[in-house]
Amino acid sequence: MSDLTNLTLKAALDGLAAKAFSSEELTAAHIHAIEKARALNAYVLETPEQALAMARASDARRASGDAGALDGAPLGIKDLFCTEGVRSTACSKIIGEFVPTYESTVTTNLWRDGAVMLGKLNMDEFAMGSSNETSYFGPVRNPWNLAYVPGGSSGGSAAAVAARLVPAATGTDTGGSIRQPASLSGICGFKPTYGVSSRYGLIAFASSLDTPGPFARTALDCALLQNAMSGHDPRDATSLDRPHEDVARLIREKAGAKPLEGLRIGLPAEYFGEGIDAEVAAAMDAALAAFRSLGATTVAITLPVVKLSVPVYYVIAPAEASSNLSRFDGVRYGHRAARYDDLDDMYRKSRAEGFGAEVKRRILVGTYVLSHGYYDAYYLKAQKVRRLIANDFARAWRECDVIMGPTAPSPAFALGAKTDDPVQMYLNDIFTIAANLTGMPAISIPAGFTKSGLPIGLQIQGDYFTEARVLNVAHRFQQATDWHARAPSVGSSVGSDTTLKGQRP
């Protein structure tokens, strides 16, 4: 059974197609693994009965010759995606026991292609965080070291994939919430071009930044999942109306001894300066040497305005959050204060009790920068700088095909190490935020480990709609290295401890 949980998504699909095992067997193996590893707190809701029912239906489809692209593959779903008939909370007290009567477009696409849902995955509350410590269900632990964070906000997704509790999972990336936890947890996390994956049915954080994307152990698996997740959706005004693209097509092409011959890799001076952990820097050097051996060349570039990404993000994202979260008021669903004097008092108390500290902080900042007299000084100026950052990248693409650097300035940090210093927490996303502000695709892939055994991630960024190229570059690196194939000793480190089981405190 444990052998089945070690399969990548591609290997699992191949095994199902060859009838080496059934979806029910594959799903049961992952359900057993989840039960043994609840101390990670990766899942906030397990759906074993539904998963087995979906698996049996998949086996029936496959037996009749009607299998979809993902038929029988177990997946984990970040708790930000609305799933019909299954509790969806964004890991916030204020949403309560909300059970949607509709399905997000992304998960609709996954079920259309035959995927199986194992459950809902933990995350920072409303996707606001970089460590998965703001969740109402409690923190997620890093499977490489339980005393460390897995990254955030999609920490449950990253930890579950790394710990072999699921072959692949969905996430969302607003300022690095797929790529940063992928880096800290030692797996692959892919953010496509903004608008390629629909946001319909996604509990909104910052609407101009939120981007659904996949987690998996390989770039090929990310490509397979992204193929299913993407597509135009008329219910999402920001969904791009363009032909569906097979982002795995370049990966499928045979390559010679130098598969990346002619590829120009841009190395921004701003990504390799002060503040980078020495072991992270060494891993980047080794990874770039591997890319050169595959035929690529490196080019020095500059992105002078990218250093302003963090302050720009923490004006725009809170502003959009303050607007999006105004709908949660305790009236129709979710948490409502037990005692209040009038309607205004009910609003105040319900929101004060329902939102966590980090969400309150961002709502306050966002409301302030949108207020009369400050809109021009902060929000409008931030939008102008956002354009300047995009212009930096537009110039860079004239000199290179992809841009590389560390995903995060350091490996995973200890639980509680940065909770008292929001600025230090925010700076963990310093290299990932620009891809959200510009809307460009990017992936984080494993590129090494520290001496203490913590993963290090490499980020590969591309121009708009170059998903296939970015994924292919990552895949060729993984054909030449084995960082992505390494697994944490999660069985011995977690054991049967269930003290952090994903239930509300």
> Which listed residue (10, 36, 78, 120) is catalytic?
78
Residue in 249, 409, 388 with CA at minimum distance from that of residue 308: 388
In angstroms and rounded to an integer, the radius of gyration of the C-alpha atoms of the chain is: 21
Q: What is the DSSP string of 296-317?
A: -EEEEE--TTGGGHHHHHHHHH
Per-residue H/E/C for 316-329 = HHHHHHHHHHHHCC
Query: What's the gap between Cα 307 and its chain centre?
Result: 23
Q: Decide if 36 is catalytic.
A: no
> Which listed residue (23, 92, 177, 493) is catalytic?
177
CB 198 within 8 A of CB 231: yes
Using DSSP bridges, classify how beta strands 211-216 and 188-191 pair: parallel, antiparallel or unpaired. antiparallel
In angstroms, the CA 99 to CA 461 distance is 37
Q: What DSSP state is assigned to residue 232? A: -
Residue in 178, 189, 174, 431 with CA at minimum distance from that of residue 310: 431
Whether omega for the bond prior to residue 452 falls within 30 degrees of 0, making it cis, is no
Q: Decide if 78 is catalytic.
A: yes
Q: Which residue has the tokens 């001894």?
A: 257
> Which listed residue (58, 153, 157, 322) is catalytic?
153
Instruction: Give the alpha-carbon dihedral of 369, 123, 148, 284, to 10 degrees.
Output: -70
Question: CA angle, corner 137, sides to 136 and 140, nearest 5?
Answer: 115
In angstroms, the CA 324 to CA 203 distance is 9
Q: What is the DSSP string of 233-249?
A: -TTSTT---S----TTH
Two tokens, residue 489: 């000793």
Per-residue H/E/C for 94-123 = HHCCCCCCCCCHHHHHHHHCCCEEEEEECC
Q: How far is CA 45 from CA 111, 123, 133, 225, in A?
A: 18, 12, 17, 22
Q: Decide if 58 is catalytic.
A: no
Q: At what angle do helices 309-324 and 357-370 cross, to 10 degrees?
A: 100
In angstroms, the CA 285 to CA 442 distance is 19
Residues identified as active-site: 78, 153, 177
